[in-house]
Structure 1
Amino acid sequence: MIEFSARQLEIVDIVQKNEPITAEQIAEMLGVSKAAIRSDLAVLAMTGYIDAKPKVGYFRGNSVKRDGISSQLNTLLIKDIQGVPVVVQETASVHDAVIQLFLENVGTLMVVNQDGFLVGIISRKDLLKVTLGNPNASTMPVHLVMTRQPNIVTVSPEDTVLEAARKMVHFQVDSLPVVKRDNHSNLLVIGRITKTNMTQLLVDLAMEV
């Protein structure tokens, strides 16, 4: 990884805040001559941290834009973008779960007990597997077909969005329950994070840069 000098980092900052800006203006803000920063500008342009347009000036380069999005994903927290949890009681039937899945237009339901604590996860795939060729499946309680702990991947509201994205990719899941752990290690469901949340966030961040 390239290590930039303090002056080069200052140039990137100046360009970000004042784009488009000419080399003469950058030099003036730094209190040096244009010739003194010629090599700095060349290095930053070659590495993609600034970009130049003839007769216009310098702009942020693609590297800065990528770094900006990466930095925001690393600082944004789950609680900033989480959605409302879609839950089903563990005593509910598979039929009830299927109805709720389609009414809420989601791919996964979080299964909770009467106290609202997470006890399982049931996905569209789980419901499909249990109902195909099984005429009695609709009356089964969801706790018989759900995925249980410790096989449930969760996030906390204080986790970063980037950490949630990594978990989704690693475990190949479409959504994650957002939970708070009480003094007895029970997991209270307070939200959910989905691939749709992630996609919308990336679109929003890309539009900003």
Structure 2
Amino acid sequence: MIEFSERQKKIMEILAKHEPITAEQIAELLGVSKGTIRSDLAVLVMTGYIEAKPKVGYFLAKGAQTTKTMEAFKKIKVKDVQGVAITVNGSTTVNDAVISLFLEDVGSLIIVDENHYLEGIVSRKDLLKVTLGNAQATTMPVQMLMTRQPKIYTATPEESVWEAARKLIYYEVDSLPVVKVEENQSQNMKVIGRITKTNIIKALLNLDKEEI
């Protein structure tokens, strides 16, 4: 069972009194920025406790329609919504990795070898930590600070989006590398994409458009 944060509980209390309500209005009532509650809203939508409609806002999930939506959501596979993986090799310098992060507008980079097998992940926070107060760190290869197995959480293309969402929430990460495990080589995982909270929210909104 997922344990919600105090802010997520307050968001549901606000919806109970003021639904439908926009993210901007929720943020204003909480006294925070819209960006601050973006991940909270994503968690609540992905777990089926609240729903969102374009140009309407957020509201508490209700009855049969919610059940029907969640059943359809659980049938969607990762391969149906995954995005392109932003990858670099381990010898890439910290400086070049930072440039890639901002050019691609992502929060993390996936590190792969010459065969595109997963080696690690480096986040914006990792890069910030190593560069603060250390100008020489910009020439350091990212393989020296990347997160390695078994601390990398992944998804497979045939996995349900629902399961990927559970991993994102449980491990408190923004994205998962989508990997294909080579036959008889469990340690070799070829990176074929990535799935993010944004991918999942779009999938939910598309279900709403289809009027399931």
Same fold (TM over 0.5): yes
Where do 5+ consecutive residues of structure 2 fail to align? 1-60
Where do 5+ consecutive residues of structure 1 fail to align? 1-60
Q: Which residue of 1 aligns with 2:146?
A: 146
Q: Which residue of 2 aligns with 1:206?
A: 208
Q: What residue identity is the alignment partner of 2:136? A: N
Q: Which residue of 2 aligns with 1:180?
A: 180
Task: Report the Cα offset of residue 62 of structure 1.
Answer: 4.0
| 1:23-38 mapped onto 2 (5 Å cutoff) | none
Q: Which residue of 2 aligns with 1:99?
A: 99
Q: Which residue of 2 aligns with 1:190?
A: 192
The higher relative CO (CA closer than 8 Å, separation ≥ 6) is in 2
Q: What residue identity is the alignment partner of 1:194? A: T
Structure exhibiting the larger radius of gyration computed from Cα positions:
1
Looking at structure 2, the residues matched to 138 and 147 of structure 1 have their Cα atoms a distance apart, in angstroms, of: 18
Looking at structure 1, the residues matched to 106 and 120 of structure 2 have their Cα atoms a distance apart, in angstroms, of: 16
What TM-score do the two structures reach when normalised by structure 2?
0.68
**Do the aligned residues in 1 keep the contact of 2:73 with 2:207 (CA within 8 Å)?**
no
Looking at structure 2, the residues matched to 200 and 127 of structure 1 have their Cα atoms a distance apart, in angstroms, of: 29
What TM-score do the two structures reach when normalised by structure 1?
0.69
Looking at structure 1, the residues matched to 141 and 72 of structure 2 have their Cα atoms a distance apart, in angstroms, of: 42
- Residue deviations 1:175-196 (CA, integer Å, cap 9, x gap): 0000011132201000100111
| 1:111-122 mapped onto 2 (5 Å cutoff) | 111-122=111-122
Q: Which 4+ stretches in 1 moved above 6 angstroms?
A: none
Looking at structure 1, the residues matched to 162 and 76 of structure 2 have their Cα atoms a distance apart, in angstroms, of: 8
* 1:77 partnered with 2:77: yes
Question: How many equivalent residue pairs?
Answer: 149
Task: Report the Cα offset of residue 64 of structure 1.
Answer: 2.0
| 1:16-55 mapped onto 2 (5 Å cutoff) | none
Task: Report the Cα offset of residue 114 of structure 1.
Answer: 1.2
